[in-house]
């Protein structure tokens, strides 16, 4: 009994140390928050997602984060992000301990592997997949738990919530169907989707919801598969791929019919679906979560523990140095709310009291709206090639919004944002109906001509 308590305390101490290190790494370094401050802020200001502004991601996180955007320093969002990352680490450690293949050594190895790989890939960029990883880990936890009255509902709700963040997250239902006997869990994601669709239908935003969140995302996938092939992503992540190959070879030599953990292996493979249609550092969280558990498992079953540990040590040391270099580069970069050109525009607008008028910024510098507490009055606050490629008449939408909202000022940061370089009709409209009232090296301001009442 005494030994059991001592061992339990050891795991608690190790968990506390690892969580402290993980939280410290995320909190002291810069966090790049872009869409996750602006779009939640628009919902906080009362604008209706999809109906009043374009967004191809699910509504869940934007409503969840909306209250946190009241803090213009974004510290609350950073705290939330840090808590999510630490929660994922705690879940991984709980799973390693719960699955009964761990020793103290494998417990530490799993935690350190996740901290280093996760920090290397996604530490500075807050994105959907980090929350999806939380849902996936919880689903895996409950799949491996004893049956209880609300188990089916809990698993189904987690699947539904993940899919309302990104629809392709529904793929996690495949391994659940395979490993969980009660198929009643399927009722709950269906119910969540019906509730969400009913919500948008009652608010006259159903068609926009379907267009933005469903139809556009099919186009988005095709666009990125065509313009950003996996071959380039493989070249960009060759070192990590090399690491995976080594782990795979070790797994072949270590796994057999008696010790293979099929459930863990399938969840690891399914989590790789987050790389579709684009392999980006911000999408690694679900995969690195299950990879850390899998590496912990491999260390437990291998007969070559010393060799495995030495190999893992050198790879993780290399990732640590790369993460350190990346962190140092990012520390020198300006985050959106720190952008010097945006700050200059804000200062000018405040000085001349121009921020009190209706204005439109022809660039992706949405932080100007945010910091001036003036929501944009156009349907597309941000413009990317995937959007303009899908919405061929996007310039008509901009012109219509400018007319309808009687925009007084149009601000064009210099040089013109490449995402708007093809907007020749919009630029022609501005030059015809607005007069250049201010010009410097960083931005132009056009003022609506008096005779133009639209």
Give the pLDDT of residue 277. Answer: 79
**Residues sharing a CB contact under 8 Å with residue 71, sequence separation 6 or more, in sequence order:** 77
Are 336 and 34 spatial neighbours (Cβ–Cβ below 8 Å)?
A: yes
Give the pLDDT of residue 4. Answer: 47
Query: pLDDT tens for residues 268-320?
Result: 999 999 888 778 778 899 999 999 999 999 999 888 889 999 999 999 999 99
**Whole-number Å distance between alpha carbons of 260 and 255:** 5
Which of 233, 329, 333 has the alpha carbon at shortest distance from 280?
A: 233
**Whole-number Å distance between alpha carbons of 128 and 164:** 10
Are 174 and 186 spatial neighbours (Cβ–Cβ below 8 Å)?
A: no
Give the residues of the chain that fall short of pLDDT 70. Answer: 1-8, 100-102, 123, 231, 451-454
Give the pLDDT of residue 309. Answer: 93
Give the pLDDT of residue 2. Answer: 47
């Amino acid at each position: 009994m005494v030994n059991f308590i001592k061992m339990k305390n050891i795991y608690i101490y190790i968990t506390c140390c690892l969580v402290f290190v993980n939280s410290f790494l995320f909190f002291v370094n810069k966090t790049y928050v872009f869409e996750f401050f602006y779009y939640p802020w628009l919902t906080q200001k009362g604008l209706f997602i999809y109906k009043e502004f374009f967004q191809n991601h699910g509504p869940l996180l934007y409503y969840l984060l909306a209250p946190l955007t009241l803090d213009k320093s974004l510290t609350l969002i950073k705290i939330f992000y840090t808590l999510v990352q630490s929660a994922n680490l705690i879940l991984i450690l709980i799973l390693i301990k719960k699955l009964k293949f761990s020793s103290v050594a494998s417990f530490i190895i799993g935690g350190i592997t996740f901290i280093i790989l996760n920090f290397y890939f996604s530490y500075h960029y807050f994105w959907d997949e980090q929350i999806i990883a939380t849902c996936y880990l919880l689903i895996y936890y409950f799949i491996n738990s004893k049956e209880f009255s609300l188990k089916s509902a809990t698993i189904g709700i987690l699947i539904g919530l993940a899919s309302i963040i990104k629809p392709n997250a529904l793929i996690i239902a495949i391994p659940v169907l395979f490993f969980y006997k009660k198929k009643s869990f399927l009722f709950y994601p269906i119910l969540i989707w019906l509730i969400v669709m009913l919500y948008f239908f009652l608010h006259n935003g159903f068609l926009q919801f379907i267009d933005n969140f469903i139809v556009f995302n099919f186009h988005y996938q095709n666009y990125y598969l065509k313009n950003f092939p996996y071959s380039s992503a493989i070249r960009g992540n060759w070192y990590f791929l090399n690491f995976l190959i080594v782990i795979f070879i070790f797994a072949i030599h270590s796994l057999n019919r008696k010790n293979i953990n099929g459930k863990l292996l399938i969840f690891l493979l399914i989590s790789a679906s987050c790389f579709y249609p684009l392999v980006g550092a911000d999408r690694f969280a679900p995969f690195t979560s299950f990879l850390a558990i899998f590496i912990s498992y491999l260390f437990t079953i291998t007969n070559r523990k010393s060799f495995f540990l030495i190999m893992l040590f050198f790879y993780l040391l290399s990732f640590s140095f790369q993460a350190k270099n990346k962190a140092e580069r990012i520390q020198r970069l300006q985050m959106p709310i720190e952008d010097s050109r945006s700050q200059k525009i804000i200062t000018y607008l405040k000085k001349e009291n121009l921020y009190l008028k209706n204005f439109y910024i022809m660039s992706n510098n949405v932080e100007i709206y945010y910091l001036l507490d003036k929501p944009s009055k156009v349907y597309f606050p941000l413009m990317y090639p995937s959007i303009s490629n899908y919405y061929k008449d996007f310039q008509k939408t901009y012109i219509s919004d400018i007319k309808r909202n009687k925009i007084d000022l149009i601000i064009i940061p210099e040089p013109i944002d490449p995402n708007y370089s093809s907007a020749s009709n919009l630029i022609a409209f501005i030059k015809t109906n607005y007069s250049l009232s201010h010009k410097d090296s960083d931005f132009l301001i056009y003022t609506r001509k008096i005779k133009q009442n639209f």
